[in-house]
C-alpha cells in the first residue's frame, strides 16, 4: 500500500501569510495526487486534482505542484475562510490512501 | 443540481448489519466510478471501497474485505454499502463520492455527499 505522509500535522498562520503543506508518497504515484479541504462537520471539498489542476470554483490563491513522490499545496495569501484541515490523497492504485491531514489554525 | 445524498446510518450493535444508500443526481451516474470514504470521530479520512460504472469491478480496503459489499443500481442512480459483522472500529461518518476518472483528472473525488453516521455500540 502507498503511504502518504503529510507535514506539518498542524500549522498556525495569519491572514495574508503564504502557507505550504507537503505530502510525500512512499512510492511513485505519477500524477494521481489530489488535495482536499475539510471544515468541521462538513464533507471534504476537492481543491486540486492531478497534482496542479485547480478544481472549478476554487480560488486561484490555491496551487499545487510536485511529481513522483513529493507534492506541495500552497496558499499564496491566507484568507479567513481557509482555516480548515487539508488532506492529500493518492488515486494511483487501490487502496486509495490519504495523508493524515494538516490542521491550519489562526495565529 | 449536482448532488449525492447518503442515508441509512444509525446505531447498531457489534456484529450487526447496516445498509447505506447514496442517491445521485445532476450528473451522469451510470458513467461514473463511485467510492465510499469514512471518517472516524476526530480522525482522518479512510478510503473504504470503489465500484466501477457497471458494477463489474469492486475494490475494498483490507479491513472491510469479506464484511462489506458495495453495489449499485444504475436505473435508480443509487450506490449501496452493505456492512455486516460491524465492529467498534467501523464507527464513522460514511461519505459516498464520485471519482472523476482519468489520468488528467487524477481520479479525484470531485463530488461528495454530506455523510451519514454509523455508530457501533452495545
Which of A2, A91, A93 to substitute to test the interface with B, most B CBs within 10 Å? A91
Query: Using one digit for the tens of pLDDT, what is the confidence trace for A12-56?
Result: 999 999 999 999 999 999 999 999 999 999 999 999 999 999 999
The Cα of B90 is separated from the nearest Cα of chain A by a number of Å equal to 17
The Cα of B113 is separated from the nearest Cα of chain A by a number of Å equal to 7
Buried residues in B80-103 as b, exposed as e (16+ CB within 10 A)? bbebeebeeebbbbbbbbbbbbee
Query: Using one digit for the tens of pLDDT, what is the confidence trace for A2-19?
Result: 999 999 999 999 999 999
Picking from B44, B103, B108, the nearest residue to A46 by CB comes out as B108
Q: Is A68 on the interface with B (CB under 8 A)?
A: no
In sequence order, what are the residues at sequence separation of 6 or more whose Cβ sits closer than 8 angstroms to the Cβ of residue A107?
A: A12, A13, A14, A17
Residue indicated by cell numbers 500535522: A9
Quickly state the pLDDT bin for A106 (edges 50, 70, 90). confident
Amino acid at each position: 500500500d502507498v503511504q502518504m505522509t503529510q507535514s506539518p500535522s498542524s500549522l498556525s498562520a495569519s491572514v495574508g501569510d503564504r502557507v505550504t503543506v507537503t505530502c510525500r508518497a512512499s512510492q511513485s504515484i505519477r500524477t494521481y495526487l489530489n488535495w482536499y479541504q475539510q471544515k468541521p462537520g462538513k464533507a471534504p471539498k476537492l481543491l486540486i486534482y492531478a497534482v496542479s489542476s485547480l478544481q472549478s470554483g476554487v480560488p486561484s490563491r490555491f496551487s499545487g505542484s510536485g511529481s513522483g513522490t513529493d507534492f506541495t499545496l500552497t496558499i499564496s495569501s491566507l484568507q479567513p475562510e481557509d482555516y480548515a484541515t487539508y488532506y492529500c490523497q493518492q488515486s494511483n492504485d487501490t487502496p486509495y490512501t490519504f495523508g493524515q491531514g494538516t490542521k491550519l489554525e489562526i495565529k | 443540481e449536482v448532488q449525492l445524498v447518503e442515508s441509512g446510518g444509525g446505531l447498531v450493535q457489534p456484529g450487526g448489519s447496516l445498509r447505506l444508500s447514496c442517491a445521485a443526481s445532476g450528473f451522469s451516474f451510470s458513467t461514473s466510478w463511485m467510492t465510499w470514504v469514512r471518517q472516524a470521530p476526530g480522525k482522518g479520512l479512510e478510503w473504504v471501497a470503489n465500484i466501477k460504472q457497471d458494477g463489474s469491478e469492486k475494490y475494498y480496503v483490507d479491513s472491510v474485505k469479506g464484511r462489506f459489499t458495495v453495489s449499485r443500481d444504475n436505473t435508480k442512480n443509487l450506490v449501496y454499502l452493505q456492512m455486516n459483522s460491524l465492529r467498534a472500529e467501523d464507527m464513522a461518518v460514511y461519505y459516498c463520492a464520485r471519482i472523476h476518472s482519468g489520468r488528467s483528472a487524477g481520479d479525484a473525488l470531485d463530488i461528495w455527499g454530506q455523510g451519514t453516521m454509523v455508530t457501533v455500540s452495545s
